[in-house]
Amino acid sequence: MKFIIIGKNIDVTPGLRQSIESKLGKLERYFTPDTEIHVTLSVQRERQKIEVTIPVKGGLIRSEQESSDMYVSIDLVEEVIERQLRKYKNKLIARHQEGGNFKQEFFDNQDVVEDDGEIRIVRTKKFGIKPMFPEDACVQMELLGHDFFVFCNAQTDEVNVVYRRKDGSFGLIEPEFS
């Protein structure tokens, strides 16, 4: 695995680098040797934050954690990433046993904030997208920890949205142009 570690408002010391590589290095059984793990460390006031993004076949495994101590944040993010990887691996195994085709690609949403009655888009992300089945989009949404997920439906070749309902089940929005 290749680690790409970036520090924002913090110097990446050899101790931090070693801690990250040893904690996340335990997960190497899930990856090929050329997998790149992107790690961003940042400090904002008293908060020590780590963001980890790992590309997986057709998607991303991502987590961010913060605490008052960077080493605690590293421990927390390692636990979350490992849990997400186990869930992803189990989904791949289940899909393979069903004989289905497990295609997926990541497409992130926009964060919208309402401020004094005005709606402002504060962040925009663009990603290439490949068709996927609604069930696969639900898995990707869960892995990312989002409440909804925009994707291209492999069955209809149209843009759809899956979302988590208040009762914990999933919903699918299929827009129709009028």
Instruction: Give the pLDDT confidence of 106-153 residue by residue, as tens digits.
Output: 333 334 444 455 778 888 888 777 899 999 888 888 888 888 889 999
Q: What pLDDT does residue 171 have? A: 93
Please state, for a pLDDT cut of 70, what percent of the chain lies above it: 85
Give bridge partners of residue 118 from the DSSP assignment: 115
Mean pLDDT of the chain: 82
Pick 34 or 65 by higher pLDDT.
Answer: 65
Contacts of 131 (CB under 8 A, 6+ apart): 103, 151, 152, 153, 154, 157
Q: Which residue segments constitute the domains of the chain, with CATH numbers given?
A: 2-97 (3.30.160.100), 111-173 (3.30.505.50)
Taken as a whole, the chain contains a residue count of 178
d(CA 2, CA 37): 6
- Residue 144's nearest CA partner among 68, 58, 30, 67 is 58
Q: What is this structure's pTM?
A: 0.55
